[in-house]
Amino acid sequence: MDVLARIESALDAALALGEGRGCPPKLAAAMRHAVFPGGARIRPRLCMSVAHACGADDAALVDAAAASIELMHCASLVHDDLPCFDDAAVRRGLASVHAAFGERLAVLAGDALIVLAFQVLPAAGVRAPQRLGRLVTTIGMGAGMPLGIVAGQAFECEPRVSLRDYQRAKTGALFSAATAAGAEAAGADGAPWRDFGDWLGEAYQVADDIRDVAADPALLGKPVGRDEALGRPSSASELGLDGALDYFEQLLGRVIESIPPCRGAAQLRALVRSEAERLIPHAAYADRARVAA
C-alpha cells in the first residue's frame, strides 16, 4: 500500500473506533467531514517516514501515531475556522465544519477529535506499553500547553508575541511531535528528531504566510490575504515577500541539516525537497530573479 493510502486507511479505522452503536450520527458525520477529504497529510507522512527511517517493527502503532497527529491537526482546523476565530466558511475548497453542521457540532467535533487522537494510541499499543507513555506525552506536548498548537493559537489573544514563538507553537509543535512520535512508535528515542520537525514546521508556516499574500486562492483552498485582514503575525508582512522567500530558503537548509544520521536519511531529504516544491514552486523564485535582473 502506498503511504497516502495507508494514512487514509489509518484515519478511517480511527474514526470507526468512535462510531460505536448508539453514537450521535450528526457528530460522527461532522468528524468525518473534518478529516476527509484531507489536505497533503504532511504531518502523518512525516511521522511514518521517520518511523520507517528508524526501522519500525510495529506497523499498527506507527499507523496509530500518524493518525493521532493528523486527527489533532484536523481538530485544530475545525476550531480555528469557528466564527470567533477566522470565521472561515470554506476549508480545502469545501464548506468548513461549522458552515456545514453548525457551530455547536463544530465545537464538539473538534473536542471529540482531540479525544480520539489519544483513544487510537492504546488500541494499537498493547504490545508496547512503554512506547505508549512516550507517545501520549509527545502528542500532548504537540497539541496542548505549554507550547503546543492550542497554545500557539492562544498567542493571538496576547497583546505582544514574538513571531518565532507564535509560529513554533502554532505550527512547529505538531511537526516536532510528528517526527518524535514516528521515532517513538518505532521504539527509538524521539528527542533527536525534534529539531527536524521544528525547522520543517517553521518552514511550512513561512510558506503558508507567503502563499497567503501571493498565491492563487483556488490553489490554497481558502481566501487569500486573511492573515493581514485578521491582524495576525505573519513573516510575509514582517519581512516583506522577498525577505520571507529568502528566509524560507534558509530554513530549508536547516531542515536538511537537522536530519539525524539514519538509514532512511536520503528518503527523508527527498521528501523535504518535494514538499518544498509543492509549497513554493521554483517558478516563484524564477519570477523574482527575472524581476531583479
- Closer CB to a second copy, 114 or 279, in the complex: 114
- Residue placing its CB nearer to a second copy in the complex, 112 or 210: 112
Q: Which is nearer to a second copy, 89 or 241 (CB)?
A: 89
Within residues 188-207, the interface with a second copy by CB under 8 A covers: none
Helix or strand holding residue 250 (H, E): helix 235-257
Among 6, 59, 100, 156, binds a second copy (CB under 8 A): 156
* Contacting range for a second copy; rule: CB under 8 A; set: 32-40, 103-111, 226-234, 259-267: 103-111
Q: Does 103 bind a second copy (CB under 8 A)?
A: yes
Q: Cβ neighbours of residue 260 under 8 Å, at least 6 residues apart?
A: 192, 193, 196
Contacts of 150 by beta carbon, 8 Å cutoff, 6+ apart: 76, 143, 144
**Interaction between residue 137 and a second copy (CB under 8 A):** yes
| CB of 70 closer than 8 Å to CB of 7 | yes
| CA 89 to each of CA 27, 38, 54, 92, 93: distance values in angstroms, whole numbers, following the listed order | 18, 17, 40, 10, 10
Q: Which residues neighbour 247 within 8 Å (Cβ) at sequence distance 6 or greater?
A: 206, 235, 239
Piece in contact with a second copy (CB under 8 A), picked from 125-133, 171-179, 230-238, 241-249: 125-133
Phi-psi region of 232 (alpha: psi -120 to 50; beta: other; left: phi over 0): beta
Say whether residue 25 binds a second copy (CB under 8 A). Answer: yes
The phi and psi torsions of 260 (rounded to 5 degrees) equal -65, 155
Q: Looking at 53-61, 99-107, 178-186, 274-282, which segment touches a second copy (CB under 8 A)?
A: 99-107
Q: Work out whether 164 is an interface residue with a second copy (CB under 8 A).
A: no
Candidates 31, 51, 77, 252: give the one binding a second copy (CB under 8 A).
Answer: 31
Segment near a second copy (CB under 8 A), from 122-130, 189-197, 224-232, 269-277?
Answer: 122-130
Nearer to a second copy, 140 or 187 (CB): 140
Shortest distance, position 289 Cβ to a second copy, whole Å:
38
User: Which one of residues 1, 2, 5, 20 is an interface residue with a second copy (CB under 8 A)?
Assistant: 20
Please list, in sequence order, all residues whose beta carbon lies within 8 angstroms of the beta carbon of residue 61, skipping any fewer than 6 positions away. Answer: 124, 125, 127, 128, 131, 135, 185
In whole angstroms, what is the distance from residue 278 CA to residue 45 CA?
A: 14
Helix (H, G, I), strand (E, B) or coil at 222: coil
CB of 189 to a second copy, least distance (A): 16
Q: Residues interacting with a second copy, by CB under 8 A?
A: 17-28, 31, 75, 79, 82, 84-85, 102-105, 107-108, 110-112, 114-116, 118-119, 121-123, 125-126, 129-130, 132-134, 136-137, 140-141, 143-148, 150-151, 153-158, 161, 165
